[in-house]
Structure 1
């Protein structure tokens, strides 16, 4: 019997992964919600094989792989992540991962990978007529709420957007755990103001709608970083108009890829408006004041992209209308059944 450890901070991701396992694979399954918990489990002999996420709090996947090597802990690691940058794949294999699978893991690809790595031999196992009661009970304990599910859907989508951005800019994009909150406009104002206190910003906005779900994507650029972005793009804007064009091009890449990733997972086709600049060289207070009638009460998904080796980051907010929440909930619940 193989001791399998599934390490991911999302209940939804762990549930999807456990469901994707070969039904006849005789494993005992342990779980960890971050790398620190995973290391503790492996030290106790609970992780002969580990399925490991990359984007996690406390200790992420890269740090976990490095710690395994440093401590000399023996476990066979398959990374399952939404961060599909080519550099991410290269780094995890360099750190000792045996394989990389993109989220959500396809059961057939997972099965083939486990067979190829010699971790699972279907000929040696007698297939049961149904999943074991233990696995059923384990899946029942994994309760997934709306925010956790939307966070995981966004996690996968932002990974695809990062891979596209990495190719365009020739950099490695560092990804956070996305944040999901429901705000009144006054709370959104305070949250953004606290995060961006004293900084001058330019902001691009792009509306989207599809299948009863609507909202706006807001991408914040820090003015102090625009020249560095231009350098990476090999662009030399001569005036504010050319700078605006550059920012709108970047907005189209990031917002379009992220919305496309969400739409694909929840089986929706979004129609997107043209991105437009809400303001240049403005304070966040001014941007909020100019647009507070649009946003009102909103479901906000916040993603902060950072570029490794450069003092550049983008803050992407997906602002769903209050009326969209019921339909979005229905679509996400469908993923879990």
Structure 2
């Protein structure tokens, strides 16, 4: 009888352990799928330009920036994220660069993000990056992501994430992230070593929305010229970076300034459409306005006074 009871409990133990192992494997499979989804959401280009002007009361007092996420495959097959932030006036010169690694912890839930800051002095070839051993992680500042009903929610606790300021005091950082297909939100609070928000650094919200940088090929027809006169069309250039967050950008005629500006704005829930407007400098009333659908990879307009081809910039 004792032998039977021993065998019975042994079978129950083995069955329970096997069941737990299967459940753990299934949980890791689900989180692996979620990790790829999270990487896909972060590997995009975002900006706070549109929220700054459309919702100034609910966003922090940040300068207009562009955040670009790019996936990099290591020699091991693992994919990490290169994250760059730059001012919208100079998107090719990032002021902050980080490598983000995402792991599935075996003893806790969610997805763990580990951050590796990249000083401007560090250069590397993305194609030949074998591992992250040459980079120093940001200790204690991991972000734990959870899948939610509307995208992902991430959090960074202030107890372990801190730095020491010039006076030798610990400055702690508490962060909350939200990301989905429509926006990326960061709420960040700076705390003193007693855990109280510092007076000069109250919590602020950085709200970013997907942005497309655009390339323009365009020509302008001067007043009084014939539309069929090919020699009358004058090529124009952009004075600043063009994007779809609704900024008016000056048009130039070679070395000369022109009296015109162009504005491009995304159309909500219609990613293939762009609202494109031509203005005279200093005037709010449009000269022309077009709602154009993307065809063959471009937005095209062929009528006077401005004909153009717009393409998304890589």
TM-score class, shorter: under 0.3
Name the structure with the higher strand share.
2
Greater radius of gyration (CA): 2
TM-score (norm 1): 0.18
Higher helix share: 1
